[in-house]
Amino acid sequence: MRSETKAQPQGVLSFPEFWRWLKGHAGCILSVATPDAALYDNEEMHWQLGEEDGSAVIQLLHGKNLVGEIVVAHQYIDYVQVDPDGEDEFVFDCISNTDGDCVSAYSFTLSHAYVPDVRPVPSRLVH
């Protein structure tokens, strides 16, 4: 995986570290976006996170109906840049270094900052 083989800038997370943490905070996601599409949270919807064929899968559901899905090809993510200055929203950009250009391939907006969990994470936390 690229995130494990390249040196990361200071103050960022590897995607596996971010993904492990995010799975315990699915109820805190406000939006997930790519350069081409975005999914936004709503009181009547909920997020489901999982893995399929080696990719991270983020689904937005209304009841049991799938509203939208974003599949993260995390093998192309070099690191996750954490926005340390958020007040009500905190942005986590998944950075890919392609042909010398660093671009945000995926962006997650959460209702709180990254704080490493010091205890085993239950399946869902809501802040």
| Structural domain includes residue 33 | yes
Average pLDDT in the chain: 85
| Structural domain includes residue 122 | no
Q: How many domains does the chain have?
A: 1
- Give the model's confidence band at 118: pLDDT under 50 very low, under 70 low, under 90 confident, else very high: low
> Is residue 116 over pLDDT 70?
yes
Residue showing tokens 């959460």: 110
| Structural domain includes residue 118 | no
| Structural domain includes residue 120 | no
**How do residues 32-64 score in pLDDT, each as one tens digit?**
999 999 999 999 999 999 999 989 999 999 999
pLDDT at residue 27 in the model: 94
Range of the domain at 43: 2-110
| Structural domain includes residue 41 | yes
Whole-prediction pTM value? 0.81
SS3 per residue for 76-109: HCCEEEECCCCCCCEEEEEEEEECCEEEEEEEEE
Of residues 32 and 122, the one with the higher pLDDT is: 32
Task: Identify the CA nearest to 67 among candidates 50, 44, 89, 51.
Answer: 44
| Structural domain includes residue 116 | no
The mean pLDDT of 5-17, rounded to a whole number, is 69
**Element at 38 (helix H, strand E):** strand 38-40
Say if CB 56 and CB 41 are below 8 A apart. Answer: no
| Structural domain includes residue 115 | no
> Is residue 30 over pLDDT 50?
yes
